[in-house]
Chains A and B, each alone.
Chain A
Amino acid sequence: MYEQRFDGRKFDELRKIEAEVGVVPNAKGSARFRIGNTEAIAAVYGPDEVKPRHFEKMDRAVLMVKYDMMPFSVPDRAKPGIDRRDMEIAEVLMNALNRAIMVEEFPQMMININVYVTQADAGTRCASLTAASMACADAGLPMRDLVASVAGGKIGDSVVLDLTKEEEDFEGGATDVPMAFLPSKGEILLLQLDGKVSKEDLKKVIELGKEGAQKIYEIEREALKRRFSNESKS
């Protein structure tokens, strides 16, 4: 049984969120997104010539997404470089961003999106996706909507939002459901499941995720709009 969360949050409460854009001056667009102890930094470059050439698409841009965890991001050192998990996450991020960015406006071009996780405490793919979408908006790419992403799940018998690593490892059994939405359209861009959950509970988790994503969406928009007041100060 899981009646009280380890960090004292309510079951439908998000962790503390920080969002900021323009953190990498050399990139075309960049963003930092932090939720609890999970933090991701995204940088966007391009559109550019497609390299290697055979990736080129005649009717749309190719997104090159790189996801990497810093060696110091986890308690015991993560091996530097791209492993199988990083490749899989980069792939799901790319699929989600393909729906959000209007890739058909840049045929035969490539957009580079690099995401680095500086601190990991569960939900890194969600934080990465949110950071990447903010960085794309900051880079001036045409988008249908921002992506808001959050993990939900089930711990013991309770449906919860935004799990921590401690909760994911709960010995009574925990289910992790990372989700991503286009909030103003209500579309689902990412839905993965790790664990066991009944059909009814999954519906509840998605509903909860939608509400959480709406809150993240507000914070994203606020951070992006701050770009205007920040720049005019200098």
Chain B
Amino acid sequence: MIEMKYFGSYEAVTPGELIADEGRGGDGTYTEGNKIFSKYLGTVGYNGDVATVSPIRSIYIPQEGDEVIGKITEVSNKYWVVDIGVPYYTRLDARDLNMRVNPGELDSVIERDDLIYARIFRVSPGRMADLSMRGSRYSKLPTRTISSVEPVKLPRLIGKEGATINAIKTTTKCNILIGQNGIVWIDGDEKNRVAALSVIKLIDESYYDPNLKEKVDKLLDYVRTKI
């Protein structure tokens, strides 16, 4: 248990600020001796004997097992090059599809500028990542509205056991798909898509607001009257 707390929960800290003298440093912290310092500009949290800092802004680093949304930037003979918004060279091999594709005929299945939902199955040193679309969950996505939310804010967008995102889905009658790289794909009627987008933007802008839930509920109520 951390007895001596220098900050309250969700209080803002800047890099280099001392947040605890004892306990363990969790995400977003670094330790020097016994002292735990913040690594980011963000909000502090104490959980038992672990002190953490969740940053204001984050950078997505690919991890094995993450499900992401990406855009095809290049079609080669045996693979596609995919842009998932990271400084990594990301590829989808023709063998990692559910169906069999002949070499050289890749653009008959997925063309340039198409969107895909896929899984990262390997991250190799040298900033390379390999995607896989094996499995029924993954597919090519038709062109619809796209938005991007920073990865640290995704837990807020999803909510407890998906509460927030499900509320948005049912209220706006949209099908929403979230990639762990922060790209959000929204499918539905044009009017509903705009409504869903406005809710997502609200969460993106004020994700550390303690009253966020009320704000979102209010906006959803307003949306309900319009649809």
- Which residues of A are interface residues toward B (Cβ below 8 A)? 28-29, 46-49, 102, 106-110, 137-146, 182-185, 220-221, 224-225, 227-228, 231-232, 234
Contact = CB atoms under 8 A, between A and B. Distances in A.
Main secondary structure of the interface of B (DSSP, over half): loop
B59 interface: yes
Nearest to A106: B59
B15 A225 contact: no
A234 B205 contact: yes
B16 A146 contact: yes
B56 A144 contact: no
A6 to B, nearest CB: 34
Contacts of A140: 40-42, 55-59
B205 A231 contact: yes
Given A231-B205, A232-B206, A137 B15 contact: yes
A182 B16 contact: yes
Interface string B1-36: 000000000001011111000000000101000000
B126 interface: yes
Given A47-B59, A109-B87, A227-B56, A184 B16 contact: yes
Contacts of A185: 16
30 contacts: A28-B57, A46-B87, A47-B59, A47-B87, A102-B30, A107-B127, A110-B87, A137-B40, A137-B41, A138-B41, A139-B57, A140-B40, A140-B56, A140-B58, A141-B40, A142-B30, A143-B39, A144-B16, A145-B15, A146-B16, A184-B37, A221-B14, A224-B41, A227-B56, A228-B43, A228-B208, A231-B205, A232-B205, A232-B208, A234-B205
Interface of B: 12, 14-18, 28, 30, 37, 39-43, 55-59, 87, 126-127, 205-206, 208-209
Contact of B87 (A29, A48, A183, A220): A48
Nearest to A227: B56
Given A137-B14, A146-B14, A228-B208, A108 B127 contact: yes
A184 B19 CA distance: 12
B18 A184 contact: yes
Contacts of B40: 137, 140-143
The winner among B18, B28, B58, B209 for most chain A CB atoms within 10 A is B209
